[in-house]
Chains A and B, each alone.
Chain A
């Protein structure tokens, strides 16, 4: 049985005003997350990631389709005992101290007494907030809030952890810590399902990835599978002593020439005509320094999805 199973999920938001069209946030999304894997839910802003996660948590009702979490319909009250959830830019009761806050959330999840106390200690240590335990959350920085949010999601040792952009608002050290934490969860056999619009995060740690655009799953699979579908496998040739005009072989292969000091970098969109280009360069009297085949990246998929649909994200959005 899958940890998360979603089929043909749709969600429309009716606008408050009659006559205005409804916003379609999800248009038949299907995906499944297996037990024990880290699944990255990747998509540009407004793709429907948060909407999907809210439906899985029972915070919202789907307009149609099927959503199951841990074998129960999404929103099932008792099965939430096995789920930890971190919402997008989380807000908490800011009049509580870090320790009270975790104790309260542990209580709500059914923990009590010495066991609860131990868990609170352990999690404060885990997210590095042990010194801030007596501070009220209103005095926390954004990164600290993100961490305490992660701690509350894990307080009851859930088997499935659902995180909405867990790395947002964190500095490089914090991102690395969260990354390590998620990897440690997999070691413990937990399932992690997280959303993000940051491609490197997904590439580094996910077992499988689903790419969601405009409320639909465009592609899913391991990072390797997605990348080797042919998009974005480029070749970089560095050479020296380029004399005059660009050799015609490069133009024929749709290559780009980028001058770098007295070097020159030639980028080829695909490796098919590599031999021609290399011959052309030698013919031109230039000296070859290196040739590297760039592994394709998910980025290419993000911007040029297989069936030609544009992802439509903002390139500047990559943090």
Chain B
């Protein structure tokens, strides 16, 4: 129920306008590219499409995600919700699932527009693209959990900054490890190693480059990467729930 209501809130929040904007942009760009007939067109369009789906998804996940709980507390709507026979964990999961539903619907619509664009440009619609989209979804689940976790104990703005930070670091953790190995300074070594183990390794979920070129990853890799992302998200949700139990409103 909480989840469906969150979904309804998101709908009325006019997030669909983002989608429309995105779809128009994608079609516009690809039509433009079609006219210019650049040699690499069949790589650029899928590349851009996947990147755009990913970007729009992450933006929604972070900026709606950090407001899920903090907005309820700020607006004090939580008083009457928590007066109902539902536990705090149920409330948190409901909010999470509501946003996840919004995100999945968003991704589905964007993917449909994407595929339609490819089709209109007479470009191949490869299975690897769907692999990439599936892992994007896993990444969105993880980022949403991250945003929710931070927002159970800090303000929306601070949560957004921290989530964004973790997101960026999550994409460069391998580099962090490299820095840690090469670094002379003990302190820097400790910090980078710490971050390496703390932040999720989001690059694992990023197969966009290969997918755009039509290269599939092994199914076992896809399964393993998904499991990694989901497990991480589950841990974050558990932690969020523990923190949330102790809060005064």
Contact = CB atoms under 8 A, between A and B. Distances in A.
B237 to A, nearest CB: 19
Q: Which are the 9 A-B pairs with shortest beta-carbon distances?
A: A85-B83, A87-B79, A108-B84, A60-B248, A80-B85, A95-B12, A81-B85, A59-B249, A91-B76
Contacts of A95: 8-9, 12-13
A78 B86 CA distance: 8
Contact of A77 (B8, B75, B76, B87): B87
B235 to A, nearest CB: 24
Interface residues of A, number: 31
A83 interface: yes
Please report whether the interface of chain B is mostly helix, strand, loop or mixed according to DSSP.
loop
A104 B82 CA distance: 13
B78 to A, nearest CB: 8
Contacts of A110: 85
A108 B249 CA distance: 20
Contact of B83 (A57, A91, A104, A107): A57
B1 interface: yes
B105 interface: no
Contacts of B13: 95
13 contacts: A58-B82, A59-B82, A59-B249, A77-B86, A78-B85, A81-B85, A86-B80, A87-B76, A93-B5, A93-B9, A107-B1, A108-B81, A152-B80
Contacts of B185: none
A79 B85 CA distance: 7
Given A80-B85, A108-B2, 15 more contacts: A54-B249, A57-B83, A59-B83, A78-B85, A86-B80, A87-B76, A87-B80, A91-B76, A92-B77, A93-B5, A96-B8, A104-B1, A105-B80, A109-B85, A149-B80
Contacts, number: 69
Interface in B1-20: 1-2, 5, 8-9, 12-13
Interface of B: 1-2, 5, 8-9, 12-13, 75-87, 246, 248-249
A61 B13 CA distance: 33
Nearest to A58: B82
Contacts of B81: 108
Nearest to A87: B79
B109 to A, nearest CB: 21
Contacts of A60: 248-249
Contacts of A93: 5, 9, 77
Interface string A182-221: 0000000000000000000000000000000000000000
Interface string A82-118: 0111110011110110000000110111100000000
